[in-house]
Amino acid sequence: MLRDGKFVKFNTDAALRISNDNQLLILNQDMYVFNQSRLKQLFSYDAKEASIAEKKVEEITNNFNLSLPDNLTLQHLVAGKKSTIKKLQTVEPTTVKQQNLIDHAEELDIDLMTNDSGAIILMDSNDMDKFVNLLNDDYVESGLTGQRYEIIRKRPIKPSEDETLATP
């Protein structure tokens, strides 16, 4: 037994043995992940992504005036939604102002409700998805056809060599 940094003879009444195949141990408020890839495979849960999403939700709460039903929080709306959690990994809530987001939604004819005080109303996870998609700049209007699209996968367009050389 390890006690005070030294191995000593086992002399307690009870012990906890953690088998090799466990992926997660939760003690009070602490979570110990032993095999992250196995945990993700078994439970579709990525502790790192969940932690980042939780921090992003906190930033959103601090930077936007939101109105939710009494029994809901943003954490409840995000919980278990893998696509929303994935999008929250790259969102920068501080780079967008609330009024700009509302104006952009109106331009694209995205139904983003606001109340009389200007707070964005999020009634359910569908409203949360629209909000996160707007925040993540996932809606675009084609300059060629005028049609509006939801972007599923964004890949930056690299400038050609001529454009790179011409830039001072």
Q: Do 30 and 58 reside in the same domain of the chain?
A: no
Q: Do 80 and 122 reside in the same domain of the chain?
A: yes
Cβ burial of 143 (10 Å; 0-12, 13-18, 19+) is exposed
Q: Do 74 and 39 reside in the same domain of the chain?
A: no
Q: Do 66 and 122 reside in the same domain of the chain?
A: yes
Q: Do 36 and 57 reside in the same domain of the chain?
A: no
For residue 73, the one-letter residue type is: T
Q: Do 31 and 95 reside in the same domain of the chain?
A: no
Q: What is the pTM of this model?
A: 0.67
Local confidence band at 22 (pLDDT 50, 70, 90 cut-offs):
low
pLDDT tens digits, 24-74: 777 888 877 777 777 777 777 777 888 888 899 999 999 999 999 988 888
User: Is residue 110 a part of any domain in this protein?
Assistant: yes
User: Is residue 128 a part of any domain in this protein?
Assistant: yes
Q: Which residue range is the domain that position 8 belongs to?
A: 2-43
